[in-house]
Amino acid sequence: MHLRKIIAAILIPFGAAVLVGLVVLWPGGAPPHERTGVGFDRQTEQASVTKVVEISCKEAGASGVPPTGDTSTAEGSSAEQQEKGTCKRATIRVDSGKDKGRTFTEIIQPDQSRQLHEGQKVVVAYEPSAPKDLQYSVTDVNRRLPMGLLAGIFALAVVVVGRMRGVMALVALAISFLVLTFFILPAILQGSNPLIVAVVGASAIMLIALYMCHGLSARTSVAVLGTLISLLLIGILGSLFIDWAALTGNTDDNTGLIHGLYPTIDMSGLLLAGVIIGSLGVLDDVTVTQTSAVWELHEANPSMGWRGLYRAGIRIGRDHIASVVNTLVLAYAGAALPLLLLFSIAQSGVGTVANSELVAEEIVRTLVGSIGLVASVPVTTVLAALVVSADRTGEERAVEASAVPAPARGGRGRRRKR
């Protein structure tokens, strides 16, 4: 029971500190700025493709109608090939905003990766400073219906299999998304230190998600403490190696745009914040699984001491480590697959690829997160084994204390009868 009190003495002040951090750092919303019209920082509206007709590309070039703004022709396509090809003229109707009902046309080249068709829902970019016939351009496809349907299937599967636990998991997921949207992102844009914001936000998500999904119990508290220790290790290692490897966090158009709009944001700190938040979800899985495994081993064999529980739990953890680390590495590799293909096309060596900042960021992110995951297994397992064995020892002492006097009294009574 003393261990439970120690864990409570750690987690209660920690929870209070997280609450204070949320109050102190809570932003009033993202600071406003003038739109640049670049990348995601542009005004968009919903639209529909009302008509698509085929025309010769030569006629399309003579008409002066611009091609769609979301794609470009493939490199190496000659002007002669385009003139001989068949293009399409799409008529698009704006369905939202002040120009609702307005139509415009765009030319679709035959070798563009995205081909529009009649009735398709699209997203259009609006540039008010451009000439009237060039103010709108197709920038993307409207994917709300398939994405919403997929989210519904996911939620249904979680509820059907997980039942009440599944419902609570979805609620915790929604709260995590709200913390990310209304606290972490705006606070960073307001100029708060990204690392501090990430630590406070990730800690709040961890406390809410774990206790909401698994209940307020010693088992959950052990998982929370194991996650906290692992996150601390990830933060220390991430800070050390991001600084040592001179990673700036400003490696692509999106991060460059963020730095241009908000130059006060510490981009390397933002990179470290991403490492911490990205590792949290997998850490939760590992720590909860290890804690549950130790508790179930204790239920199966209550006489097993903490060393036996640790040895049995760590054997389960080794299998978990192998699968989780492999999953994490493959997830990052899958996300960076187009980039890796570019390096392969350029016939760059492995050393050259790994040394580039764009890839080095992913390597540091993967390895630091994986070290935290590996460390979380023995840390959580030993904490769970100690807590369970301490409870068992206390229970045994209580049983012995209540059982010993009864035979003694009975013995004395029998001796009197003799």
3-state secondary structure the chain: CHHHHHHHHHHHHHHHHHHHHHHHHCCCCCCCCCCCCECCECEEEEEEEEEEEEEEHHHHHHHCCCECCCCCCCCCCCHHHHHHCEEEEEEEEECCCCCCCCEEEEEECCCCCCCCCCCCEEEEEECCCCCHHHCEEEEEECCHHHHHHHHHHHHHHHHHHHHHHHHHHHHHHHHHHHHHHHHHHHHHHCCCCHHHHHHHHHHHHHHHHHHHHHCCCHHHHHHHHHHHHHHHHHHHHHHHHHHHCCCCCCCCHHHHHHHHHCCCCCHHHHHHHHHHHHHHHHHHHHHHHHHHHHHHHHHHCCCCCHHHHHHHHHHHHHHHHHHHHHHHHHHHHHHCHHHHHHHHHCCCCHHHHHHCHHHHHHHHHHHHHHHHHHHHHHHHHHHHHHHHHHHHHHHHHHHHHHHCHHHHHHHHHHHHHC
pLDDT at 358: 76
Give the domain-ending residue among 141, 175, 193. 141
Residue 387 within a domain: yes
State the pLDDT at residue 32. Answer: 64
pLDDT surpassing 80 at residue 167: yes
In a domain, 380, yes or no: yes
User: The domain containing residue 77 runs over which residues?
Assistant: 44-141
Residues 101 and 236 in one domain: no
224 and 98 in a common domain: no
- Same domain, yes or no: 311 and 215: yes
Give the pLDDT band of residue 154 (cuts 50, 70, 90): very high
Of 141, 173, 204, which one is at a domain's C-terminal end?
Answer: 141
Q: Please give the tally of structural domains in the chain.
A: 2
164 with 131, same domain: the answer is no
The highest-confidence range among 266-270, 392-396, 407-411, by mean pLDDT, is 266-270
Reply yes or no on whether the pLDDT at 63 is more than 60: no
Domain boundary among 141, 175, 190: 141
Q: Is residue 302 part of a domain?
A: yes
pTM of the entire structure?
0.72
| Per-residue pLDDT tens digits for 317-348 | 888 787 777 777 777 677 667 767 766 776 66
Domain shared by 126 and 186, yes or no: no
Instruction: Write down the mean pLDDT value for the chain.
Output: 78
**One domain for residues 98 and 232:** no
How confident is the model at residue 407, as a pLDDT? 46
Assigned domain for 264 exists: yes
297/221 same-domain check: yes
Which of the four pLDDT bands, split at 50, 70 and 90, describes residue 66? low
Query: How large is the average pLDDT for residues 135-156?
Result: 89
Please tell me whether residues 332 and 378 are part of one structural domain.
Answer: yes
User: Span 108-131, mean pLDDT?
Assistant: 82
Higher model confidence: residue 254 or residue 288? 288
**pLDDT class for 152, splitting at 50, 70, 90?**
very high
Question: What is the rounded average pLDDT of the residues 387-394?
Answer: 68
